[in-house]
Amino acid sequence: MKCLVTGGAGFIGSHLVDRLIEDGHEVVVWDDLTTGKRDQVHEDAKFYQIPVECISPSYHDEKHNAIFHLAAEARIQPSFEFPQRTHDSNVTGTTKILELARHTGAKIIYAGSSSVYHDQYANPYTFTKLKAEEYCTLYNRIYDVPVAIARFFNVYGPRQLEEGAYATVIGIFERQYRNGEPLTITGTGEQRRDFTHVEDIVSGLIAMSEEEWDANIFNLGTGTNNSIKELAEMFDCETTYIPARPGEAKDTLANIHDSKAFLGWRPKKVLKEYINDLLATEH
């Protein structure tokens, strides 16, 4: 296939690009490099530095078989400070990509968020991700754009961000562990998350691209979860507590029945094994 990956310089996107090229596909990457890194883009991919919300109809001349739309303003906490930017990236950007698909006949694999299972009004990020999903459904029903929606659950693994507002909790813990610092647990630490390795996410996205779907939703998680305290205990080091953050769900847990049944997909990576390997490497 000829594939377009938006957000293809980022944590998840760059792993997806690597896998697509490994599988023999031609890949084009669009990324504005807000959180992505140019040096993470595979040398065999064609790269354009562009925000998806700024694409014009001139891009409709470039044909793609599949568009993996991962570009987004991708964290809850920054969305409180930048609600307009979050809307522009997550909603306007998605409609631009859907328009591209409508004019070129591409199928869309959209990267949604598990946060939509909770209060959609809890933060601008969740609200905009849900609205983008609804646009995906709209374009499928009115314009017959083939769309599959993936909902990610707390992705971790190589290239995850370790610092700044977009850092993942496992990325933060890894950095703190390496630096000999206490691990910072937010709130009570009893909140539970379904931590999913990036390789499992990529294999799920690839499986979704192999068919044409009518806005079907597929959860990409493990079907198990751990508390933040349990996660910290896996590192076996000192911890400290910081205030809880607003807008975040108490628990996340993926129901992966449909992903198994219709995609033939199963997660393979185990969180404890990942951390054990990390600790062995650091020692």
Catalytic residues: 125
In three-state secondary structure terms, 144 is: coil
What are the structure tokens assigned to 95, written together?
Answer: 């409609």
In three-state secondary structure terms, 31 is: strand
CA 271/CA 186 separation, integer angstroms: 20
> What residue spans of 54-197 are helical by DSSP H?
76-81, 83-87, 93-104, 124-143, 169-178
As beta bridge partners, residue 110 has 69, 149
Q: Do 187 and 232 meet the contact criterion of CB atoms below 8 Å apart?
A: no
In three-state secondary structure terms, 234 is: helix
